[in-house]
Amino acid sequence: MDIGVVSRSFPQLTNEEAAGLLAANGFRWTELCFSQTDSKYWVYNGRSDLSGMTDGESRRIVETYRRHGIEVAALGVFTNLIEPDDVELERNIAYFERHMELAALNGIPCVATECGFVHGSRGIIAELYESRFARLADSLRRLTALAEGYGVDLALEPCALDVVPSAKRMADLIAQVGSRRLKVLLDPANLIANSSEDDMFRYLAPHIAYFHGKDRKVNDAYGRAVGDGDIDWSRFLDLYHSHTEGVPFILEYVNIDNFCAIRDRVLQADKSR
């Protein structure tokens, strides 16, 4: 089974060093975030000044990974698509579009994001749920229309902590947005509290762009490394091979000290299924 690692697992390395490390240890894919020491642009749930990320600079970075035999499966954006301030949301949309442009320029098949959240009121709040979900759906309709023009997909990562908290709700959202460009970044750790391993594939298998390899205890707020939570990995990987063989599986919540050991946990679970 081929496995990748998100580039932001190695914030202390340059892109050249990160690509070389992945290649030397037999990894195949990365989710590229501009998070290395020579490309400090990535901001979680927000945005940065991308003026220094020229077309040429993006080509240099992407080709660095390809030269080492690492496929860039996705470009990570992870901005806030439910931002309540209209001006700020427009800036987030423009920021997202620039990432689409860079993805198209470099032949990266998709751009990835979470729903986004408001600090201090994350999650499902009854009085705000409908309006936030509607804002997300509207943002996605706008972005998928742009994605169609750029020829890239948008991979949304649903999460139990956000306004798309289950596999079924993600399938509902895809139907409501109505664009072939809306795909799923399936992180099983983000759904295990609300969706079984089987439900994740039952509802979402046709729409999955790639996977995050991460774990979670069902009562935890945040994730853990694969093997440290409650996901039945033998079952999950059996479903993976049955429904999504060859789709990129990219480790998250690992670091420079443990990424190979966590990879080996996945391979062991794959052998035991």
Domain boundaries, the chain: 4-272
- 3-state secondary structure at position 11: coil
CATH assignment, 4-272: 3.20.20.150
Structure pTM? 0.97
Burial of 145 (0-12, 13-18, 19+ CB in 10 A): exposed
Average pLDDT, 10 consecutive residues per value, the chain (273 residues): 97 98 98 98 97 98 98 98 98 98 98 97 96 98 98 98 98 98 98 98 98 97 96 98 98 98 98 91
Q: DSSP label at 44?
A: T
Cβ neighbours for 207, distance < 8 A, ≥ 6 positions apart: 170, 171, 174, 182, 183, 184
Look up residue 8 and give its two tokens.
């932001």
**Residue 91 and residue 98: Cα distance in Å, rounded?**
11
Residue with tokens 């959202």: 173
Q: pLDDT for 21-72, tens place per residue?
A: 999 999 999 999 999 999 999 999 999 999 999 999 999 999 999 999 999 9
**CA separation for the pair 235, 265 (Å, rounded):** 14
**CA gap 267, 183 in Å, rounded:** 26
The pLDDT, as a whole number, for residue 49 is 97
pLDDT of residue 212: 98
